[in-house]
A and B are shown apart, each in its own frame.
Chain A
Amino acid sequence: NAGVMQNPRHLVRRRGQEARLRCSPMKGHSHVYWYRQLPEEGLKFMVYLQKENIIDESGMPKERFSAEFPKEGPSILRIQQVVRGDSAAYFCASSADRNSPLHFGNGTRLTVT
């Protein structure tokens, strides 16, 4: 009974490169959320998706960031032309429905050099 799986666990990118973060929700979960955590801070909401639909992206920067959750395969958070300020831990969470608790993965730690 695997939990939320995120990969890679660590990702190093140079400024200007692209970062792709993957999230496979728990089996049976169709709701996916992405959060960002800066050192010594709480998690900040980025985006909420259901299969093939973006429900709420109010926490996503308007430029360079995008997210998808296709019918088949994992959810992808994509950051284009990364900058040093993008360095953070990115957490994915999933739930079975709108009223169920969120289960988090162990995150992807992105370092931009």
Chain B
Amino acid sequence: QQQVKQSPQSLIVQKGGISIINCAYENTAFDYFPWYQQFPGKGPALLIAIRPDVSEKKEGRFTISFNKSAKQFSLHIMDSQPGDSATYFCAATQNEKLTFGTGTRLTIIP
């Protein structure tokens, strides 16, 4: 049972472009929605997070948009750079337990 659905599975974006990754959830008890960035051979690192009482959060080039009624949230990476090439996971938390999406492999090309 996939509680957090993530798309696309892979994404190629030109340098300077906008990368957009989408997630949807079913469980309305989720109360915290983080995004993680993972490089090969490394553990996931927290990138940015949002709570459901906020519709948007921006940190530098990274923005989360949250639509509570649609039960959807997305990550936008502005001015994408080659160093952003990594796998991105959305997640949702209930009772301190993180449920992860299946990941998006992002590749930024020159």
A residues with a Cβ closer than 8 A to B are: 4, 31, 33, 35, 40-45, 48, 55-56, 58-59, 91, 93, 95, 98, 101-107
Contact = CB atoms under 8 A, between A and B. Distances in A.
Sort A-B residue pairs by CB-CB distance and give the 8 closest, nearest first.
A104-B43, A42-B100, A43-B100, A42-B102, A106-B43, A104-B44, A101-B46, A98-B96
A59 to B, nearest CB: 8
21 contacts: A4-B43, A31-B96, A33-B98, A35-B98, A40-B102, A40-B103, A41-B102, A42-B102, A43-B44, A43-B98, A44-B100, A56-B95, A56-B96, A59-B97, A93-B43, A101-B46, A103-B46, A104-B43, A104-B45, A105-B43, A107-B43
Interface residues of B, number: 21
A45 B43 contact: no
Contacts of A48: 96-97
B95 A42 contact: no
A31 B63 CA distance: 29
Interface string B55-86: 00000000000000000000000000000000
Nearest to B101: A42
Contacts of B43: 4, 91, 93, 104-107
B91 to A, nearest CB: 8
Nearest to A4: B43
Contacts of A55: 96
A102 B102 contact: no
Given A41-B102, A45-B98, A45-B99, A91 B34 contact: no
